[in-house]
Each structure stands twice: as structure tokens, then as C-alpha cells.
Amino acid sequence: MGKKWQNRMRNWITSKMELPQDVMMDLPRITMIGQIHIYIENHRGLLTFSDKELRLLLKQGQLLIKGQSFVIKTILPEEILLEGKIDEVLYIDN
């Protein structure tokens, strides 16, 4: 089956079963509170971390977060809680 058909089927199943798209499509779920707190679920691993930058591997691409005074409050295999002053959240499709 082609990828296009698989995506259509996933969308149809998601809408009929009322499942969140992030679950069916294997997408990251990002919850951000102001500029001080970001919680990311369903990532594939930590690539880089400093007090000014965090880069996560996703199923497709990467997520880059830039800012200041970053502290990882929680890190689990597919979840991360980052605190600090968040200036940018970028999706990198590679």
C-alpha cells in the first residue's frame, strides 16, 4: 500500500474513532505555558542540550527549542519537561 493511502486511512480511522491525531499519526504532542515551560511527548530521543538550546529527534525530523536558562525538569524515554525562557520552537524537516 502506498504512503498516501496509509495516511488517508489513518485520518479516516482517527475521525471515526475520535482518537487524537498525535496518537494515530505518531506525532509529537507539545504543551507550552507562556515562555517558561514546555512539555513534549512522543519524541525519539534527546540530541543536544545546553542552557540555551534543546534538540529532540522526532519520527520525522527534529524539534529545536532556543532560549535562555534552560533546565530539564523531567526526562523519560518519550517525554521531556523543559523550563527556562523559551524564545523559539522550530520544527526541522530533514
pLDDT for res 15: 66
65 within some domain: yes
37 within some domain: yes
20 within some domain: no
11 within some domain: no
Range of the domain at 85: 26-92
What's the structural domain count of the chain? Answer: 1
Q: Does position 45 have pLDDT exceeding 80, yes or no?
A: yes
Q: Does position 17 have pLDDT exceeding 60, yes or no?
A: yes
pLDDT band at 4 (very low <50, low <70, confident <90, very high): confident
14 within some domain: no
pTM value? 0.74
Report the mean per-residue pLDDT for the chain.
Answer: 87
38 within some domain: yes
Query: From residue 12, how far is each of 5, 15, 29, 89 by CA, in Å?
Result: 11, 5, 20, 29
Cβ(55)–Cβ(47) below 8 Å: yes
What is the CATH number for 39? 2.60.40.2000
Answer with the residue of higher pLDDT: 92 or 23. Answer: 92
